[in-house]
């Protein structure tokens, strides 16, 4: 048999129609017991668990393909390069981008936003200009813009939200003025679960000549994405939130914008030629990928994209919405519990506070029941301030989450109530 063909990754496993119990078996970590109790993992918004196919693709890379990319003429280097560039094409298809060159591998959403701020931002934003964000942004879509504004003398403006956690589109529209160079907004809030109407937001921004960056960290695991339909200029995602590994993510940028942008970091692999007098930079995406990249991470991200493609997207969304509705109803019935984030269009992120109980105590008591949730400010302190809170408890769903997980959460919360009666 042709050696190359035998080493091709297996066809993506398909899980149709949606069978959550079968799907859970693809995630080995979920079979664990914690303190003797079955693991109930409700912290997928912090990081998702990884399917066997992702773990295997990454170990296969180290076992059979590892060499540095874009450098060697030898067999393994060519093979590693092919695998790395194939992963880029997979991400391109996942986002429905027009060209593979529009996909830049980065460490994750945080690096993607910093890259755009320090390249596109530095060349387009001047003193007196404005950068617009929303009140529901993660720190990684706030701080890089604050840094840019400090460096350039530009002003950061913030579009408000209502109590349900929906963006006030009229206010947002009002805030996009002739000085607005860039609008950076999250597709899905990591605290509220709100899905923002990105297409409409892009229309409003483009009508006034502002570019749009979308933080897709929380959207990628839940929504079918299409950057061309959304019309955005930049889209950022993190592999680890979408069933892939940590340390890898992608930045989509429209080709003409990337081509006009200066490099982010200097080093190997991002140049055409170097002399002490002059260095010529490579074209995108290499221009933005200085140094040896996270090759195995890209392979893992490619496998995660294959995994997601193997799910029936409609069935996955219907399943997640059913578990979300079940959870919202069950939690709302608990005395003294207040849900934070009740937008009409939202994904499976359930933030809540319980009267008289600190969120950290909720998290600690649930932990002893084998239930993993997140507590704290969720890297969104300005959003917490908007609700007058220091912290919330947050249960977040993944493709493997089930109504049994919610039953366990509810039983755990009843125990919390008993402790704090």
Residues 6+ apart with CB under 8 A from 184: 113, 131, 132, 133, 137, 141, 145, 212, 213, 214, 215
**Pick 186 or 328: Cβ nearer ligand PMP:** 186
Which one of 166, 215, 306, 320 is in contact with ligand PMP (CB under 6 A)? 215
The answer to whether 131 contacts ligand PMP (rule: CB under 6 A) is no
The answer to whether 222 contacts ligand PMP (rule: CB under 6 A) is no
The answer to whether 49 contacts ligand PMP (rule: CB under 6 A) is no
Which one of 238, 351, 396, 402 is in contact with ligand PMP (CB under 6 A)? 238
Q: Which of 9-17, 55-63, 133-141, 399-407 is the region at the interface with ligand PMP (rule: CB under 6 A)? A: 133-141
The answer to whether 396 contacts ligand PMP (rule: CB under 6 A) is no
Alpha helices in 96-142 (DSSP H): 109-116, 122-124
Q: What is the DSSP letter of 62?
A: I
Which one of 218, 328, 375, 396 is in contact with ligand PMP (CB under 6 A)? 218
Residue 277 beta carbon to ligand PMP: minimum distance, rounded to whole angstroms? 37
The answer to whether 233 contacts ligand PMP (rule: CB under 6 A) is no
Residue 242 beta carbon to ligand PMP: minimum distance, rounded to whole angstroms? 10
The answer to whether 186 contacts ligand PMP (rule: CB under 6 A) is yes
Token pair belonging to 208: 């006034």
**Pick 218 or 328: Cβ nearer ligand PMP:** 218
The answer to whether 114 contacts ligand PMP (rule: CB under 6 A) is no
**Pick 115 or 154: Cβ nearer ligand PMP:** 115
The answer to whether 392 contacts ligand PMP (rule: CB under 6 A) is no
Determine whether 361 is exposed, middle or buried from the number of CB atoms within 10 Å of its CB (0-12, 13-18, 19+).
Answer: middle
The answer to whether 351 contacts ligand PMP (rule: CB under 6 A) is no
Q: Which of residues 371-390 bind ligand PMP (CB under 6 A)?
A: 379
Q: Are strands 271-274 and 279-281 parallel, antiparallel or unpaired?
A: antiparallel
CA atoms within 13 A on the CB side of 133: 24
Strand, coil or helix: what is 21? Answer: helix
Token pair belonging to 146: 């604050």
Residue 193 beta carbon to ligand PMP: minimum distance, rounded to whole angstroms? 11
Interatomic CA distance for residues 379 and 212, integer angstroms? 22
Token pair belonging to 151: 């460096």
The answer to whether 144 contacts ligand PMP (rule: CB under 6 A) is no
**CB contact at 8 A, 23 and 401:** no
CA 37 to chain centre: 30
Q: Count the Cβ atoms, other than its own, within 10 Å of residue 35.
A: 9
Q: Which of residues 188-207 bind ligand PMP (CB under 6 A)?
A: 190
- % helix, strand, coil for the chain, step of 5: 45, 20, 40
The answer to whether 217 contacts ligand PMP (rule: CB under 6 A) is yes
**Pick 83 or 251: Cβ nearer ligand PMP:** 251
Give the phi and the psi of residue 234 in degrees, each rounded to 5.
Answer: -135, 145
The reply to whether 399 belongs to the active site is no
Among 199, 240, 241, CA closest to 219: 241
Residue 374 beta carbon to ligand PMP: minimum distance, rounded to whole angstroms? 9
Interatomic CA distance for residues 257 and 210, integer angstroms? 13
Interatomic CA distance for residues 69 and 319, integer angstroms? 40
Q: Which of 106-114, 225-233, 296-304, 366-374 is the region at the interface with ligand PMP (rule: CB under 6 A)? A: 106-114
Q: Which of 104-112, 296-304, 325-333, 355-363 is the region at the interface with ligand PMP (rule: CB under 6 A)? A: 104-112
Which one of the listed residues 149, 232, 379, 399 is annotated catalytic?
A: 379
Among 380, 350, 344, 348, CA closest to 362: 350
**Pick 81 or 114: Cβ nearer ligand PMP:** 114
Q: Point out the residues that are catalytic.
A: 379
What residue ranges bind ligand PMP (CB under 6 A)? 108-110, 138, 140-141, 186, 190, 215, 217-218, 238, 240, 379
């Amino acid at each position: 048999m042709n050696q190359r063909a035998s080493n091709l990754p297996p066809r993506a496993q398909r899980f149709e129609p949606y069978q959550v119990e079968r799907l859970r078996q693809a995630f080995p970590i979920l079979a664990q017991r914690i303190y003797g109790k079955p693991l109930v993992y409700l912290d997928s918004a912090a990081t998702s668990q990884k399917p066997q196919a992702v773990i295997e693709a990454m170990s296969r890379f180290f076992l059979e393909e590892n060499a540095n990319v874009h450098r060697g003429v030898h067999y393994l280097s060519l093979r590693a390069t092919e695998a790395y560039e194939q992963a880029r094409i997979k991400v391109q298809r996942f986002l429905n981008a027009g060209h593979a060159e529009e996909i830049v591998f980065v460490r994750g959403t945080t690096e993607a936003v910093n890259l755009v701020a320090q390249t596109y931002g530095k060349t387009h934003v001047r003193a007196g200009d404005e950068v617009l964000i929303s009140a529901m942004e993660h720190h990684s879509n706030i701080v890089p813009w604050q840094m840019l504004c400090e460096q350039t003398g530009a002003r950061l403006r913030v579009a408000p939200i209502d109590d349900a956690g929906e963006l006030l589109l009229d206010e947002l529209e009002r805030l996009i003025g002739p000085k607005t160079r860039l609008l950076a907004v999250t597709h899905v809030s990591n605290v509220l679960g709100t899905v923002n109407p990105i297409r409409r937001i892009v229309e409003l921004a483009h009508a006034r000549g502002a570019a749009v960056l979308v933080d897709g960290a929380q959207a990628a695991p839940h929504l079918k994405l299409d950057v061309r339909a959304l019309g955005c200029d930049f889209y950022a995602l993190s592999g680890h939130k979408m069933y892939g590994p940590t340390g890898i993510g992608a930045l989509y940028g429209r080709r003409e914008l990337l081509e006009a942008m200066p490099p982010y970091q200097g080093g190997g692999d991002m140049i055409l030629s170097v002399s002490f007098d002059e260095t010529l930079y490579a074209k995108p995406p290499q221009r933005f990928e200085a140094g040896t990249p996270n090759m195995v991470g890209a392979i893992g991200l490619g496998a995660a994209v294959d995994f997601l493609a193997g799910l029936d997207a409609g069935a996955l969304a219907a399943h997640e919405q059913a578990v979300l509705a079940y959870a919202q109803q069950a939690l709302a019935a608990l005395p003294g519990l207040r849900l934070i984030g009740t937008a009409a269009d939202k994904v499976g992120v359930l933030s809540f506070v319980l009267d008289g109980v600190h969120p950290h105590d909720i998290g600690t008591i649930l932990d002893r029941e084998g239930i993993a949730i997140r507590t704290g400010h969720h890297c969104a302190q300005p959003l917490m301030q908007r609700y007058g809170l220091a912290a919330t408890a947050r249960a977040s769903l993944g493709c493997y989450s089930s109504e049994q997980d919610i039953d366990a959460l509810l039983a755990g919360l009843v125990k919390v109530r008993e402790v704090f009666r």
